[in-house]
């Protein structure tokens, strides 16, 4: 099993792919669709997941004071936060500051400018040591009872729910991916089966004049691998194109909210994994097919 | 070189192709296997190249008992033979040169060496000018010669030919028999199965006559 033999088998496989361009194109297309679907969903989900991780990585507790709370009331709440052993950091956000931040933030300046008075209360944002969930919950329960505290909110809760939902989504994508990977193997299996049928004579003669099984298998294995690789490249193209189109629409949508969202493309390691998996599945399909059908030829 | 000891071959369905055949062929010998059609000539050649397996008795190639040959060693045994098949078994999807190149690729010769040897083999059978032709465009005699070129390209120790002159004009047939004589003269062991008496007269070689699967006196 030398490099020369592999080179020859690879050239043979490439020539056969090129010899029937329409059939090859259709197989590659099927593989591309089977791969791009889970890959595309995966990209979308990982974007959402990184987004939710960012939000939930540092769970915060927001303590909103009543609108009629005075600065003395605020100082009282601050004193309680300072003396609480679980509180790591806290930050006071005055109502004027909150309003100006909101105006800068999310395209609501028009609405806010029309307001006669500031509807926002003073607030504290606190984090707890080591982000312990029990400490967060205790603080939420206690702070609700403090004088002039109107509302206490655990900011991380919705992000955690999103994270859990995304976890579910990822599992669903993994299941879908596994099914489509099986489809890819099946497509390759069948392509190679047809190849073996049309090259049956060549296989028989080769074996009669001293070809080893690896010699006979090699071109088919390369064929499956190349076809899978081509399918992987096509899937990469499909995903890149889809992301371009989605990002264009997403940019329009985000502009309406004065925000900016952008789905990141596949990273180089992602692409490497995609191509590697595609080639490997192609090889596997070819191997199964060759093992099955060459055995048949040998036992008739 | 080749030795049969009480070899019998029964095909599925109960046909006895060979019964109790014992023979020895020395290295460098040229031998004719004759007999009417169905006498077991083809089976004899197939047993030598381990294309068929003996039902009983033992077939030795060199000192190798074929019954004890491992499947992985089979391809290497086959490479010691050059086989001229009765039905040529040329590949019609490639040209003459590529047909002759096949055993060299199988044996692992590198590209340039393989091409040189393939041309040498084609030259020997007088078809160097037709290397680009597709086999289907050649006459029966030319196809037979391509098959011979393919059989000898990797310089096997033993040449097995099954009815190499079948369906050929006398002139063509004589030409091909001369080729076998030439290979024999450079030390190749040659075994020819034929029912053509002309071949026997031309070669004047040792003859093993088969009748109904047995060696006839």
3-state helix, strand and coil shares in percent for chain B, rounded to the nearest 5: 40, 25, 35
Confidence tier at A211 by pLDDT (50, 70, 90): very high
A4-32 confidence digits (pLDDT tens):
788 888 888 888 888 888 888 999 999 99
Q: How many separate domains does chain B show?
A: 1
Task: Tell me the mean pLDDT in the region B56-69.
Answer: 91
The number of distinct structural domains making up chain A is 2
Contacts with A255 (C-beta within 8 Å, 6 or more apart), sequence order = none
| Residue B203, domain member (yes or no) | yes
Asked which of A154, A170, A202 is the last residue of a domain, the reply is A154
Separation CA B119–CA B129 (nearest Å)? 10
B81 three-class SS: strand
- Domain assignment of residue A143, given as a range: 60-154
Please give the pLDDT value at position A256: 79
Domain assignment of residue B46, yes or no: no
Contact (CB<8Å) B108/A211: no
Cβ–Cβ below 8 Å for A209 and B78: yes
User: Where among A102, A129, A154 does a domain terminate?
Assistant: A154
Span A33-55, average pLDDT: 82
Beta partners for B21? B7
Q: What is the pLDDT of residue B217?
A: 65
Predicted confidence (pLDDT) per residue in B4-61, tens digit: 999 999 998 888 899 999 999 999 999 999 998 888 999 999 999 999 999 999 999 9
Report how far residue A83's alpha carbon sits from residue A5's, in angstroms, rounded to the nearest whole number.
77
Query: Do A143 and A102 fall within a single domain?
Result: yes
pLDDT averaged over chain A?
85
pLDDT band at A190 (very low <50, low <70, confident <90, very high): very high
Question: Which residues in chain B have Cβ-Cβ distances shorter than 8 Å to A202?
Answer: 91, 93
Same domain, A193 and A287: yes
Average pLDDT for A158-162:
72
Q: In which band, very low, low, confident or very high, does the pLDDT at A136 lie, cut at 50, 70 and 90?
A: confident
Range of the domain at B140: 28-39+75-215
Q: Which residues 132-171 of chain B have a CB within 8 Å of chain A?
A: 150
Give me the pLDDT at residue A62, please. 86
Whether residue A238 sits in one domain with residue A168: yes
3-state secondary structure of A227: helix
Asked if the model's pLDDT at residue A219 lies above 70, the reply is yes
Q: Both A93 and A147 in a single domain?
A: yes
Q: By mean pLDDT, which of A106-110, A128-132, A133-137, B93-97 is the weakest?
A: A106-110
Instruction: Judge if A102 and A136 occupy the same domain.
Output: yes
Mutate to test the interface with B, among A4, A10, A195, A210 (most CBs of B within 10 A): A210
CATH of the domain at B103: 3.40.50.300
B14 touches chain A (CB under 8 A): no
- How does pLDDT run across A61-103, given as a tens digit for each residue? 888 988 888 888 888 888 888 888 888 888 888 888 888 877 7
Tell me: pLDDT of A54 over 70. Answer: no
Among A56-60, A154-158, A260-264, B66-70, where is mean pLDDT lowest? Answer: A56-60
Contact B147, B88 (CB under 8 A): yes
From the list A57, A59, A67, the residue with the least C-alpha distance to A123 is A67
A263: confidence class by pLDDT, cuts 50, 70, 90: confident
Regarding whether A50 and A165 lie in a shared domain, the answer is yes
Asked if residue B6 is part of any domain, the answer here is: no
User: What is the pairing mode between strands B16-25 and B2-10?
Assistant: antiparallel
The radius of gyration of chain A from alpha carbons, rounded to an integer in Å, stands at 31
- Do residue A33 and residue A78 come from a single domain? no
A71 and A144 co-located in one domain: yes
Residue B10 lies inside a defined structural domain of this protein? no
Looking at the predicted structure, is the pLDDT value of residue A159 above 80? no
Domain presence at residue B68: no
A244 and A283 both lie in a single domain:
yes
- Distance between CA atoms of residues B149 and A126, nearest Å: 89
pLDDT for res A12:
85
B171 found inside a domain? yes
Tens digit of each residue's pLDDT (9 = 90 or more) over B123-167? 988 899 999 999 999 988 899 999 999 999 999 999 999 999 877
Q: Are residues A103 and A244 in the same domain?
A: no
The interface residues of chain A toward chain B in range 188-217, judged by CB-CB distance below 8 A, are 201-202, 204-213, 215
Is the model's pTM score more than 0.80? no
Which of A134, A154, A174 represents a domain boundary (last residue)?
A154
Instruction: Give the Cα separation of A101 and A114 in Å (integer).
Output: 16
Q: Are residues A141 and A276 in the same domain?
A: no
B11 vs A: CB within 8 A:
no
CA torsion, ordered B143, B148, B154, B156, to nearest 10 deg = 160
Task: Verify that A124 and A169 share a domain, yes or no.
Answer: no
Q: Which residues are A87's β-sheet partners?
A: A128
Residue A259: per-residue pLDDT: 67
Determine the pLDDT at residue A6.
86
Q: What percent of chain A has pLDDT over 70?
A: 92
CB < 8 Å to A216, chain B: none
pLDDT of A296 reads: 78
B143 inside domain: yes
């Amino acid at each position: 099993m030398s490099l020369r033999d592999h080179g020859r088998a690879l050239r043979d496989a490439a020539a056969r792919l090129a010899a029937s361009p329409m059939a090859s194109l259709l197989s590659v297309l099927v593989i591309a669709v089977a791969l791009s679907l889970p890959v595309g969903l995966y990209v979308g989900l990982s974007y959402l997941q990184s987004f939710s991780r960012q939000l939930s990585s540092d769970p915060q507790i927001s303590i909103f004071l009543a609108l009629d709370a005075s600065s003395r009331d605020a100082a009282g709440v601050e004193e309680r936060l300072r003396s609480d052993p679980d509180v790591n950091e806290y930050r006071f956000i005055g109502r004027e500051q909150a309003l100006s931040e909101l105006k800068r933030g999310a395209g609501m300046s028009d609405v806010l400018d029309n307001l006669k008075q500031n509807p926002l209360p003073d607030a504290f944002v606190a984090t707890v040591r080591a982000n312990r969930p029990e400490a967060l919950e205790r603080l939420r329960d206690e702070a609700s009872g403090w004088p002039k505290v109107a509302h206490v909110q655990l900011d991380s809760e919705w992000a955690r729910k999103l994270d859990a939902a995304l976890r579910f989504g990822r599992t669903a994508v993994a299941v879908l991916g596994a099914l489509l990977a099986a489809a890819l193997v099946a497509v390759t299996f069948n392509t190679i089966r047809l190849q073996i049928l049309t090259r049956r004579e060549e296989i028989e003669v080769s074996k009669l004049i001293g070809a080893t099984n690896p010699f006979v298998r090699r071109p088919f294995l390369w064929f499956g691998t190349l076809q899978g690789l081509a399918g992987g490249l096509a899937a990469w193209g499909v995903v890149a194109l889809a992301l371009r189109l989605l990002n264009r629409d997403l940019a329009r949508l985000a502009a309406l909210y004065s925000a900016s969202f952008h789905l990141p493309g596949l990273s180089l390691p992602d692409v490497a994994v995609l191509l590697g998996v595609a080639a490997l599945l192609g090889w596997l399909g070819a191997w199964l097919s060759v093992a099955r059908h060459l055995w048949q030829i040998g036992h008739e | 070189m080749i030795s049969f000891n009480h070899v019998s071959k029964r095909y599925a369905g109960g046909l006895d192709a060979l019964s109790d055949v014992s023979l020895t062929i020395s290295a460098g010998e040229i031998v004719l296997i004759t007999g009417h059609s169905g006498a077991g000539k083809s089976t004899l050649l197939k047993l030598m190249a381990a294309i068929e397996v003996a039902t009983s008795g033992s077939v030795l190639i060199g000192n190798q008992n074929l019954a004890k040959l491992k499947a992985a060693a089979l391809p290497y045994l086959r490479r010691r033979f050059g086989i001229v098949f009765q039905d040529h078994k040329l590949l019609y999807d490639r040209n003459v040169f590529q047909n002759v190149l096949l055993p060299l690729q199988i044996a692992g010769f590198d590209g340039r060496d393989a091409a040189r040897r393939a041309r040498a083999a084609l030259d020997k059978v007088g078809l160097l000018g037709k290397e680009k032709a597709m086999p289907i465009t050649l006459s029966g005699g030319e196809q037979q010669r391509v098959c011979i070129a393919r059989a000898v390209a990797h310089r096997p120790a033993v040449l097995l030919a099954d009815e190499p002159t079948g369906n050929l004009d006398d002139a063509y047939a004589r030409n091909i028999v001369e080729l076998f004589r030439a290979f024999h003269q450079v030390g190749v062991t040659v075994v020819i199965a034929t029912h053509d008496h002309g071949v026997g007269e031309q070669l004047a070689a040792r003859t093993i006559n088969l009748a109904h699967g047995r060696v006839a006196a």
